[in-house]
Amino acid sequence: MQERKLLDYLYTLNFSVMNFKNISISSSKSIRTIYISRQKQLNALNAQTLEELSMCLGQFLEDKDVRGLIITGEGKKSFVAGADIKEFAKYSSNEGLELSEKGHKTVFDVIYNYPKPIIAAINGYCLGGGLELALACHIRIGSSNALLGLPEVSLGLIPGYGGTQRLPALIGRGRALEMILNGKPITAEQAYEWGLLNHLVDQEDLLDKAQKLAESFSNNSLLAQSHAIAAVNRGLIDPSKGQEEEIKRFGACFQTSDFKEGVGAFLEKRRPDFNNL
Ligand code: CO8
């Protein structure tokens, strides 16, 4: 039974590696790191990359051995330099609307509401759709060479993958509008000072820091973490419903085996062993 599970799991990983062109994946313990891999285009998000990212998120959601994800950019220069401008250059209004809607539904909202922690490890340019990708993640770690901005107005656009909503929620309306209206990127230091980055590290320490943080989360109940993410998100999206959501989910935790395990371990003075989602 265990063997079958392992084979299925390896098949899933091989399947992903074989079929993805614009993303690659590495594994360490229960954490998977997803690399956006279009280095020549500074990892700009074209439609295929978004589709692959969406498929990958779906696979890791089902995989009980995966307890957290890190999203980063391939290479040292760029996390993601935005949505692929060349791809949408000739789009009509309707096509633009559809692109934004599909992106929200299949990638950005999926990440925002993902029931397993997702950390953005930002290694350079983090612009437009790239910053929106990082904003959708639960936590952001930046390397000292990171540049973060929403340059859409310089293209005659506005942010279309959540930037107008998630940036003000994180750093406040005034700072968000300053970034959105002048379109200029801010440094990693500034982003850290404004609370856009949870942590700021040297580039060579970035993935190690992200991995260690993800592993530290993985000692806790993933089921409880998923309830916490959902309650936090509900309050941000609809402040009048946040507390109600918290109360409902707090109550739901009491009927889980993770609650029994967590409290049992405390009473028996041992480390808990959580394995449910
Ligand atoms: N899209 C497509 N190609 C890109 C992008 C991009 N966002 N960014 C860089 N590239 C490509 C360049 O075109 C170039 O390709 P090529 O060699 O074939 O010409 C290659 O990457 C390397 O780029 P540069 O030569 O420009 O590298 P530099 O180091 O000189 O400059 C910059 C780096 C400053 C990052 C520069 O590339 C740049 O300004 N890029 C665009 C940044 C940008 O404006 N991003 C926002 C895009 S809009 C967006 O994200 C909207 C999100 C919401 C969409 C919602 C659905 C509609």
| pLDDT at position 277 | 60
| 11: confidence class by pLDDT, cuts 50, 70, 90 | very low
Task: Tell whether ligand 1 has an atom less than 6 A from the beta carbon of residue 161.
Answer: yes
Domain boundaries 222-267, CATH class:
mainly alpha
Contacts of 256 (CB under 8 A, 6+ apart): 221, 223, 224, 276
Please spell the DSSP secondary structure of 11-57, one letter per residue.
HHHHHHHHH-SSEEEEEETTEEEEEE--GGGTT-B-HHHHHHHHHHH
**Interatomic CA distance for residues 262 and 273, integer angstroms:** 8
User: For residue 77, which atom of ligand 1 is closest to its CA?
Assistant: 29
Tell me: the pLDDT tens digits for 114-154? Answer: 999 999 999 999 999 999 999 999 999 999 999 999 999 99
| 8, 111, 262 from 19: Cα distances, Å | 16, 21, 39
Domain parsing of the chain, residue ranges: 2-218, 222-267
Tell me: the pLDDT tens digits for 41-71? Answer: 999 999 999 999 999 999 999 999 999 999 9
User: For residue 150, which atom of ligand 1 is closest to its CA?
Assistant: 46
| 6: confidence class by pLDDT, cuts 50, 70, 90 | very low
CB contact at 8 A, 89 and 100 = no
Task: Tell whether ligand 1 has an atom less than 6 A from the beta carbon of residue 188.
Answer: no
Element holding 202 (H helix, E strand): none
Q: Give me the mean pLDDT over the 82-105 stretch.
A: 97
Q: Is 74 a residue of the active site?
A: no
Task: Tell whether ligand 1 has an atom less than 6 A from the beta carbon of residue 262.
Answer: no
Q: Which of 37, 42, 85 to mutate to test the pocket of ligand 1 (most atoms within 8 A of CB)?
A: 42
Nearest to 35 by CA among 105, 120, 150: 120
pLDDT at 10 over 60: no
| pLDDT at position 19 | 77
CA of 102 to the centre of ligand 1 (A): 21
H helix intervals, 183-241: 188-193, 206-217, 222-237
* Mean pLDDT over the full length of the chain: 93
**Interatomic CA distance for residues 150 and 148, integer angstroms:** 7
* Residue having the nearest C-alpha atom to atom 2 of ligand 1: 84
pLDDT at 4 over 80: no
DSSP assignment letter at 153: G
Return the residue matching tokens 């997803």: 34
Task: Tell whether ligand 1 has an atom less than 6 A from the beta carbon of residue 167.
Answer: no
Report the Cα 225 to chain-centroid distance in Å: 15
**Interatomic CA distance for residues 141 and 199, integer angstroms:** 5
Contacts of 55 (CB under 8 A, 6+ apart): 16, 20
Return the residue matching tokens 């790239």: 130
Q: Which fold has domain 2-218?
A: 2-enoyl-CoA Hydratase; Chain A, domain 1 (3.90.226)
Return the residue matching tokens 């690659």: 24
pLDDT at 14 over 80: no
**Interatomic CA distance for residues 136 and 15, integer angstroms:** 26
Nearest to 82 by CA among 176, 33, 148: 148
Question: Is the fold of 2-218 the same as that of 222-267?
Answer: no
Tell me: the pLDDT tens digits for 224-266? Answer: 999 999 999 999 999 999 999 999 999 999 999 999 999 999 9
Backbone angles phi, psi at 71, to 5 degrees: -115, 130
Q: Is 152 a residue of the active site?
A: yes
Task: Tell whether ligand 1 has an atom less than 6 A from the beta carbon of residue 107.
Answer: no
